[in-house]
Structure 1
Amino acid sequence: LPKLSEPLRKYIETNPNFPENARNFSLGWIRDGLKPRSLTRDNAWGILAPFKGAKGKTIYVWMEAVLGYVSATKEWAEKKKKQPSLWKKYWFDPESRNVHFIGKDNIPFHVVIFPGLLLATRENYDLPWEVSSSEYIQLEGQKFSRSRKIGVWMDEAVELAGPEYWRYALISLRPEQKDTNFTWDEFERKVNTELNDVLGNFVHRTTSFIQTYYKGKVPKYSMGKQQHAKILATLRASLPKVEDRLGHFRLKEGLEQVVELAREGNRYLNEHEPWRLYKTDMQAAGEILGASIQIVASLGILLLPFLPSASKKICLSLTGKPSLPWRSAGQTIIKPGTRVRPLQPLFHKVNAEKLRAGLESIRSRAPIEAEA
């Protein structure tokens, strides 16, 4: 490993995609001087070392596990695709990108050890293009622990709240740049004030207004009017903003951009008050709803990577199709006269105390075997 210090340093310093925690930690390792690392361990379990003089030893897991990325691709190409050489497309093509999602404790194995193993072959492998290394998340200020039962298991989670609530909360709390603490109070705040009150509320306000006052059909509108200029500019900017965040694997920030679009939609409705305008000028109110329904459509598209169920419901309501083209986000795609199918509220509020009590109730009825 010490012989690879200079090529590894150059690789890490010149890779613009690494997050700061991965770059700084790994360069610190190199500055302190890389030490030789044993390839074997005296463990009873593991892959037996095939090296001379290594009888009874196994290969160190972080030497063979990361190489499993390559061997798994090889096996997939051979057994699934019946094209034994196909794996090379993913490991030698300059256009190929391999991205790793890890916790920060695995940074050295993916930024130093794995690239070092590939460099040592001198076969010009594609090195990790991005290592999305998140910080730590705790539960109510404590480290997760299976043995001490500090955590929320998946079967418990989906019984307490639907998958979309967990998707939203965990993505919006994703520790992308600093450690995060999950609390039931924060879960309640995220769901109630953001998911429900901002995102769900805007979609429901717009679609229910069209149902009630325009017989379920999008009213006539003209997006060329000056009153729509600001909100349409916001709408057009939504796709590039989300794509930029996703392109850098900032999932939390990408979701925040989607919620911000819904927040702007709510501001737009509050500013123009179509419910009041309708009483004196039905056509003018229709203009506001015509612009608002475009935002709803873009929300349906942009939510797909984050909340696929909500995305599908929105798209079905507006078009009768389960999805819309990704590139159409930010555009005026819902035409006047389009029938908007009834859409029930996407979300509901939650209560932190009830969630805590619910978790206790679930665990109180767990079988004795599960408690052991």
Structure 2
Amino acid sequence: MKIYVASAWPYVEAVPHLGNLIGSVLSADVFARYARLKYGKDNVIFVSGSDEHGTPIEVEAIKRKINPRDLTNQAHEYDKKLFLDVWKISYDNYTRTESETHKRFVREFLLSIQDYIKVQEEEMPYCEHDKIFLPDRFVKGTCPYCGYEDARGDQCDRCGRLLSPTLLINPRCAICGSKPVIKKTKHWFFDLSQFSDKLKEWLENNKDMPDNVKSVALSWIQEGLKPRSLTRDTSWGIPAPFEGAEGKTIYVWFEALLGYISATIEYFEKTGNPDKWKEFWFGDDVKSYYFIGKDNIPFHAVIFPAMLMASKKGYKLPSVISSTEYLMYEGQKFSKSRRIGIWIDEAPRLMDVDYWRYVLIRLRPEEKDTNFLWREAIRIINTELNDDIGNYVNRVITMVNRYFKGYVPNFNEDKLDDTDRKFMELVKTTPVVVSQLFEKGKLKAGSDEIIKIAREGNAYLNQKAPWDKVKNDIKVAENTLYIASNSVRTLSILLYPIIPTSAEKIYNQLGLRGIENEKWDSAGEFVLDHNHKVEQASPIFKKIDQNFEKELNEKLEKIRKELDNIRPPLLR
């Protein structure tokens, strides 16, 4: 079985915030790490990259009077370093839409589906001062739905409605501010309507696809699919390959979706296996997982599969599209301009990255919009990470050292009681339960099951009281700490996808090395015996001070001033 994992491509216009992180990047990383343990490293690939074309970047570059690539070069490297080095996102390939492999593949792919592409004229705002058409963010105006006076040509930031430039009331050029005229322009359109029946059949028959994704996609199909414009009258992007389309570029969403394939091709070209990418894109022995925010469902569950169908080459259609609802910040939407929220270069300066990874998975908005509250984040760290997990690990390893000279004690099957058997059964079955949830994209639900081992483990120790039993029933004490030691191994392996650095520390304290080489399916086995020596216990986590929240604004202000001098110009 080959497992393909992808996160939605972050747009380089801004540093991602915590909502962006949990919506795609972190969720995909947790699943990819799990998949490598489950299916083997060689059978899993995890890709994404910087989405760097489109009108927002071009508008910004024109205002700054520089080349758009100068902006995106720095932003791409900044984001890449944050993801790979700081947040420990385990991408096999984190690339960019400016890569030559991507640009070549996009042009070749679009030429191969020309049977489903047609040319038609449409009316667009045109700035007579700057001598350019005004697609997407090149034009601003009043939203026809909510009256917001600074709505963009592609979307209103206030009400969230998708717009087109000609819908805006009192439109103005985003570059010079002048009022545009309406002119006709020729564009190339992908005829989605030809795939309505095939898409409907595919969605209805895909038992792995989450219901919320099916619902949104089928609703789109029910409303009637229309041709979608493939091209834009812009210069920053991939030049349209069609005859007569000189001076036009490919619409950013179409080419970014094709990046899922080009990133795979590029990875195997770099590693000297140029044909191996096909193993992850063709055949029945492949499952593909995409992690996205809910606003991207139509692109991934309608447009992308339709493009793959149009190729007639047998590309693997998405198996699971795991989409999150929105993460709010203290009851409000994340906002860069109003400085509401935490951004991914700020967060690690506030507390340990593994704390963030754990909190965000525990708050992952899988069923409904979720509110990030500092008091809840602190509770999760102090209660779950420190008191439940950290305390349990520390108790077990400390007692093995204290009572059995650091060696996992003997196992005496004849001394087992119902309490032992019940906890052993939990340890054995939890990896299976978590696996089933993870494969449905239910990462938070999976973490609910993982934490049970630590909670039940602490209760198990309290009930069995090995510190007393060593005095009068040594075999019972041996069983308790034999079972507990093995449960800590299980716990470390199950936590590894979520908090890799901390999980490895737990694993190492057991006297083990190479947690990344473990097998998920053997995580619940009791493999540590009386010949195995553990290391000395050392606290893995520490509590967050209750004054942390009171001092937060002052800390953030200081961090943001520091980052203003570090961030690339585009991201300030």
Query: What secondary structure sits across from 1:124 in the alignment?
Result: coil
Determine what percentage of the aligned residue pairs are the same residue.
43
Quick one: distance in 2 between partners of 1:271 and 1:368?
50
The residue aligned with 1:357 is 551
The residue aligned with 1:214 is 404
Q: Is the 8 A contact 2:375 2:549 kept in 1?
A: no
Q: 232, 239, 244: which one pairs with 2:431?
A: 239
The residue aligned with 1:174 is 364
Deviations 1:6-56 (A, max 9, x none): 001111111112112111000000111111211122334322223344343
Quote how far apart the aligned CAs of 1:153 are. Answer: 2.6
The residue aligned with 1:121 is 311
With over 3 angstroms needed to count, the CA separation of the structure-2 counterparts of 1:224 and 1:17, relative to structure 1, is: farther
Give the number of equivalent residue pairs: 371
Return the structure number with greater helix share.
1
Q: 456, 460, 480: which one pairs with 1:268?
A: 460
Q: 230, 238, 241: which one pairs with 1:47?
A: 238
Quick one: distance in 1 between partners of 2:409 and 2:311?
65
Quick one: distance in 2 between partners of 1:23 and 1:56?
38
1:325 aligns with 2:515: no
> Which stretches in structure 2 are left out of the alignment for 5+ residues?
1-191
Query: What secondary structure sits across from 2:364 in the alignment?
Result: coil
Query: What secondary structure sits across from 1:305 in the alignment?
Result: coil
Quick one: distance in 2 between partners of 1:149 and 1:242?
37
Give the TM-score of the pair, scaled to structure 2: 0.61
Quick one: distance in 2 between partners of 1:174 and 1:160?
20
With over 3 angstroms needed to count, the CA separation of the structure-2 counterparts of 1:51 and 1:269, relative to structure 1, is: same
Paired AA for residue 237 in structure 2: G
Quote how far apart the aligned CAs of 1:333 are. Answer: 1.3
The residue aligned with 1:15 is 206
1:108 aligns with 2:298: yes
Q: Is the 8 A contact 2:415 2:479 kept in 1?
A: no
Q: Is the 8 A contact 2:329 2:373 kept in 1?
A: yes
Query: What secondary structure sits across from 2:462 in the alignment?
Result: helix
Paired AA for residue 367 in structure 2: Q
Quick one: distance in 2 between partners of 1:82 and 1:212?
52
The residue aligned with 1:5 is 196
CA RMSD for the aligned pairs? 2.2
Quick one: distance in 2 between partners of 1:225 and 1:280?
14
Quote how far apart the aligned CAs of 1:274 are. Answer: 2.0
Paired AA for residue 205 in structure 2: T
Quote how far apart the aligned CAs of 1:213 are. Answer: 2.7
Query: What secondary structure sits across from 1:276 in the alignment?
Result: helix
Query: What secondary structure sits across from 1:88 in the alignment?
Result: helix
Quick one: distance in 1 between partners of 2:553 and 2:343?
10
1:339 aligns with 2:533: yes
Q: Is the 8 A contact 2:409 2:478 kept in 1?
A: yes
Quick one: distance in 2 between partners of 1:344 and 1:94?
47
Quote how far apart the aligned CAs of 1:200 are. Answer: 1.1
Q: 483, 486, 492: which one pairs with 1:294?
A: 486
Quote how far apart the aligned CAs of 1:111 are. Answer: 0.6
Q: Is the 8 A contact 2:240 2:250 kept in 1?
A: yes
Return the structure number with greater strand share.
2
Quick one: distance in 2 between partners of 1:341 and 1:368?
40
Quote how far apart the aligned CAs of 1:122 are. Answer: 2.1
Quote how far apart the aligned CAs of 1:159 are. Answer: 2.3
With over 3 angstroms needed to count, the CA separation of the structure-2 counterparts of 1:81 and 1:206, relative to structure 1, is: closer
With over 3 angstroms needed to count, the CA separation of the structure-2 counterparts of 1:92 and 1:369, relative to structure 1, is: closer
Quote how far apart the aligned CAs of 1:83 are. Answer: 4.4
With over 3 angstroms needed to count, the CA separation of the structure-2 counterparts of 1:273 and 1:129, relative to structure 1, is: same
With over 3 angstroms needed to count, the CA separation of the structure-2 counterparts of 1:46 and 1:110, relative to structure 1, is: same
Q: 203, 206, 218: which one pairs with 1:27?
A: 218
1:249 aligns with 2:441: yes
